[in-house]
Amino acid sequence: MENQFPIDHLGIAVSSLEGALHFYRDQLGLTVTQRETVAGERVNVAMLATGESRIELLEPTETDSVIGKFLEKHGPGLHHVSLRVPNLEATVERLRAAGSRILNEPRLGAGGHRYVFVHPASTGGVLLELVEAHS
C-alpha cells in the first residue's frame, strides 16, 4: 500500500499579516481563500491558494503565544510544513508506536481542520503538522 500525503500548506510566521499580504496577495497575486482568528492558538491566520497546496500566514495576537515566541527567537519565516493525511488517529498511532514525539492531541485549527504537530527531533529538524483531509 502506497501512502501519499500531499503538502497541505506551508506555515509562515509573520509579525504583520497586512505587511505579508502586501507581498503574497498584492505583489505576487495569490488569492486569499480564508482569514480568521484562532483564539486557542492566539493567532490571526490568512490562507492563500497555491494550486494543490496553500500558504498559511500566521500573525500572533499575543507576544507570549507560540508564534509570538517563535518570532522573538527566530524572526519571520517558515514555521512548519503541513501534510494532509487521510486518517489522523491511525497516522498518530503509527508514529507513536515507532517512537515519534507528538506534541499535542488532535484538535481543531484554522478552517476547522483537525491536526497534530510532530516534534522536529522526530522529523530531522522540521516542525511537521499533520492535517486530516476533509471528506
Q: Give the least confident one: 3-7, 25-29, 52-56, 76-80.
A: 3-7
Mean pLDDT of 18-35: 97
| Domain definitions of the chain by residue range | 7-132
Residue 134: its pLDDT value, please?
Answer: 72
**Beta bridge partner(s), residue 20:** none
Q: 7-132: which CATH architecture? A: Roll (3.10)
Q: How far apart are CA 67 and CA 59, in angstroms?
A: 7
pTM: 0.92
Give the C-alpha separation, 21 to 16, whole Å: 9
pLDDT, tens only, 64-80:
999 999 999 999 999 99
Contact 58, 69 (CB under 8 A): no
Q: Which of 30, 28, 62, 26 is nearest to 44 (CA)?
A: 62
